[in-house]
Amino acid sequence: MMGSVGGAISRPSKPLKFLEDMTYEEVTKELKFSSGLVNLGNTCYMSSTIQCLYSIKELMNSLNENQIDSNNSIDSKLTSSLRDLFNILNKKSGSVTPTAFLKNLRLSNSMYNEIDRESGVHKQQDAEECWNDILSFINKGLKDPKLPKNFVDSYLEGEFITTYQCDENPEEPPTHVVEKFRKLDCRIDKSVNYLQQGLTLSLVQKINKNSPSLNREAVYTATSRLTRLPKYLTINFLRFFWKAKENIDAKIVKKVKFPFELDVTEFTSPELASKLKPARDYLNKRKDFLESNNKRLKMAKIAENDAMAGAATKPKPSEEASSSGSNSKMAVDPPVSNSSSNIFNRVPIIEKPVLDSSLTADIGCNPSGVYDLIAVLTHTGRNSSSGHYIAWVKKESEESFESFETLEGGISSSFNLKNINDDTKLWYKFDDDKVSIVDESEIVKLEGGGDWHTAYITLYRAKNFD
């Protein structure tokens, strides 16, 4: 109470600490940012790949819970060093130097050990090739007895069936080939403005091959349909093409929009689409409810604020009594019927779907066909063997930063975490060892169209039912 006697104001136990007076390392440690990886000489292709793969929590769990082959092969060495690197990153104790992992990566393939003659340092490499190599080594080096297949095969590998129909002889019976994939390609030409269009170009193509009915080479339509969806779906934007005259791969910088939520049901076989329908319908119903409920909450909050503002402008009871007589009764505000505190009385019951038995038995699959974007690997520059790679990884909703109150001086007005709220979707930007926080609007800018960071690989995770 104002004017009452209180205790003496004590001196802070430690000096006041302002963010603007702290070094980068001090800020990241105080706020418990995820750790960056030190660039050891054109190793951004590797660092960005690792940061994206680190977002696959099941991978880290499997690395720690299962025995890695101790046969001294390069597969087991690289897998062990990845496990150790993930565990160091998990401590969130500042920048990490990935010396051991880089050593094993260079031993695994001489390509990563190439030296540029002019600069005398290791050459920049293609992040997509590094991504593929790391997954291949993990798949050989990591054995999980709980899985009927290896980890990568279970969680990151899908399957599609391709039908080949001869355009020049419709009477020729079509042929079917079943293939596995660890990434889908987004082809880019003048007609492609959206990721889904690029996927369609990749899954439906015209090819030339020998026709047994015509006894010559003929044009075929190759149509691929997905028959198994992995929990983690990797998409590679085919932005690089080979220029023979310059003897270099050039880059397509065209803008291609990619969604934060991706539904790939249109690319699946009819049989799989039917199995995915219950889970997909459930997610759509839940999404519609949450969107409408958020609107009701906002409207209720506005009405509640308006009612409080109206009550504040009403004359006080004593003023009403003096103006209307001593026997006048005090007015009472009616309750606000649409208050946000009552809004959840109208929550419907949405029953969780009954999944097809083949999907429940398939560990590591996506039973709905709907994905959330969780990581983007970008490139700046004009070809894959130069420029710079960066990883952008979505911050998990349950992941919280160290309490801002520990920074006794408060938050600098220029610091971008100051104005975050419950609706803000945050992402980590991993620029080698420099880690920063951005909101979702920065991810939209990665669509391409110029010399800014451009999406090269996107990683999607099956949408959660909870």
Active site residues: 44, 388
Q: What are phi and psi of 454, to 5 degrees?
A: -125, 135
CB atoms within 10 A of CB 368: 27
Contact 350, 282 (CB under 8 A): yes
**Rounded Cα–Cα distance for residues 374 and 376 (Å):** 7
What is the b/e burial string over 170-202, where b = at least 16 CB atoms within 10 angstroms of the residue's CB?
A: eebeeeeeeeebbbbebbbeeebeebbbbbbbb
Residue with tokens 């994939």: 181
What's the rounded Cα separation, in Å, for the pair 25 and 437?
Answer: 14
